[in-house]
Structure 1
Amino acid sequence: MKKYHTYQAGRKERMPKVNPTDEAHRKANDRAARVKLYRYIVTNFKRDDIRIDLTYADPEPTPEEAEKRRAAFVRRLKYRYQKLGKELKAIWVTEKEGHRIHHHLIVNNVGLSRDKLQECWPWATFNYRSVRFYDGSPEDALRLSDYLLKETSESVKEGKIKRRWGMTRNLEKPHVTKKKIYARSWKEMPKPKEGFQIVKLENGVTLEGFPYQFVRQFAIENFTIGKKKPKGKKARRKKVRRNGR
């Protein structure tokens, strides 16, 4: 959840505005990219879907050839999914700065074996880290989005790539709700929603000089929303009835 003042905030005074540097813009863009990718992962993938790392044996291909091979892998995977009457969902990132070119993907799991996945990638042999299960929790989605984009920001900065990540066209678009609240301020230490815990809280100022607050909340496991434990005499009476006294 993010709270911020709109340009129609009226008389709300801005904080002292500073001229944003290129580095500040870059960090803001990196943060927005991670949030967007995180939302797509949470919306479209679940526990036990598959993370795949694609590497290359010698000789290493050019970036252009590597992109062609990555596209070929996705096409071959789509064909095998179609034979099973399924539809492939995938997100991918290509990394090439400071080390050998490789690709990271997350795909929906339809029961294809590791050997069937290997058949789609003839340019290197899978190792023990090539195919792994996605945990499916919001925390894992957050870690995965950070991991996938950890190196693309430098490539974007240098103008070597325009898109940080790619995806199949059938992914469901995350639903983001915007609600206008008429208030001049908010609590710097908000309370979590019932059944949730706050895992990240950030109060800051936008590049335009307006204050904002970012709150990330995760659901507490095994918590039933809407059900409260009885207290006092009610709890004691309920316990007595259960014991048959």
Structure 2
Amino acid sequence: MADQGSARTWYGAAIKAARRAGDPLLIAYQQGSLAQFEVEYGNCAQGLALIRSARRQLGSERPPIAAAWLSSLEAVAHATAGDDRAADRALTASAAEAARMTADAAPPWPWVFTFDERKIAAARVTCGARLARPRWVHSSVADASAALSSSHEKQRALLTLDVATGHLAAGHLDVAFGLATQALDTGLRLRSGRVAERARNFRRGYSSASPPALVRDFDGRLNDAYL
């Protein structure tokens, strides 16, 4: 379900094409996308280096949406590396940049989505999950509700797994594995390696010599991700 080598090849090809086009926004977007991929697989230093490079591409006049998005990616990278203070600073920076955007302004290409407080709340949920800070997760879920009800199934599944991780850190076993099972079922149906990998990360947060039935059921589903 996941072929990291092929994915990196395609990301690299996209960055080279953007450089040939000479479009700083497109280069930054592709570098940020690769950074997000690297962080997802634990390569935080490389992800942060790519984010810094993307900022250099844009210079001081970068559009607020680009700055807000890159700061949200930086926050998740720091959280994945276990640095809660740096993650919080990056989230604050992301919110400040998002506040500079006007509601009626269309996002510049290649951004085809808006970036608002709901996206920042979703990033904070992910940061809280990776830092094992249930308060961050639970305090942001209401604001991130739009993302949790999104029609984009894979993104919804990924965020649901982060919410599940927050519940697991708080000791809410039934809620955590109930949410995680729903998300994993979506990932299996979509054959998403990213969702499966996030589900594995979630599962590593719980250990027991005699796991209850709902955990065993989740393990059975997770095993299907290898088939």
Q: Shared fold by TM > 0.5?
A: no
Q: Which has the higher strand share?
A: 1
TM-score by length of 2: 0.25
Higher alpha-carbon Rg? 1
Higher fraction of helix: 2
TM-score using structure 1 length:
0.24
Bigger relative CO (Cα 8 Å, ≥ 6 apart): 1
